[in-house]
Amino acid sequence: MAELTTAFSSNRMMLDYVEHAYRPAALRLRERMGQEAAIARALVNWANRVQAHWQHVRVDEPRPARDGDVWSLVVPVYLRELVPADVRVELYADPLHHGGVASIFPLERGEAIPGTLNGFLYTGNVPVTRPSSHYTARVVPKHQHAQLPQELPLIHWQR
């Protein structure tokens, strides 16, 4: 019991909160409020623009092809008024078993889709240890100063 007390005490819990939540939040606030709140203003403008155009984002079904020990997937994504820097495109797979961790693989923006407004083919590879049908494409907001998904909880899943 004496050994466990230090690992599970309220003092340790408070130190964890300070170190992992309160201090990082205070540093983000200080950074955002500097230079007459330039970062905070940019974040608000970005979030408003993303929210205003989010409904127009479309993610089509991935097209898989087996390439040795990986699935190579191509995903058509239509951002319309948003730009690629506003988002991150990923492949998501649920945990294989209860208590497991979801798998998330970032995709790379490839060639533009002719005749579209900010339509691109995103590509990536995932292991063939699972069927390609286990992976679902999604788009989430991305900004270097945003705490995501807490500050802008948006997500677009493939059709």
State which amino acid sits at residue 84: P
Mean pLDDT value of segment 9-31: 86
Dist CA 61 CA 63 (whole Å): 7
The per-residue pLDDT for 1 is 64
Mean pLDDT value of segment 97-124: 93
Report the top-level CATH class of 56-157.
mainly beta
* Burial of 76 (C-beta count, 10 Å sphere; 0-12/13-18/19+): buried
Query: Is 80 exceeded by the pLDDT of residue 4?
Result: no
The per-residue pLDDT for 47 is 96
Q: Which DSSP string do the residues of the chain spell out, in sequence order?
A: -HHHHHHSSHHHHHHHHIIIIIHHHHHHHHHHHHHHHHHHHHHHHHHHHHHHHGGG-EEPPPEEEEETTEEEEEEEEE-TTS-GGGEEEEEEE--SSTT---EEEE-EEEEEPTTSSSEEEEEEEEETTS-GGG-EEEEEE--TT--TTTSS---EE--
Q: What is the largest CA-CA distance in the chain?
A: 69
The per-residue pLDDT for 141 is 97
Q: What is the pLDDT of residues 39-97, one digit of tens each?
A: 999 999 999 999 999 999 999 999 999 999 999 999 999 999 999 999 999 999 999 88
**In the chain, what are the domain boundaries?**
2-52, 56-157
Dist CA 51 CA 154 (whole Å): 8
Contacts of 41-45 spanning 24+ positions with Cβ under 8 A: 42/145, 43/143, 43/145, 43/146, 43/151
Select the more confidently predicted residue: 32 or 47: 47
Q: What is the pLDDT of residues 105-114, one digit of tens each?
A: 999 999 999 9
Query: Is 90 exceeded by the pLDDT of residue 25?
Result: no
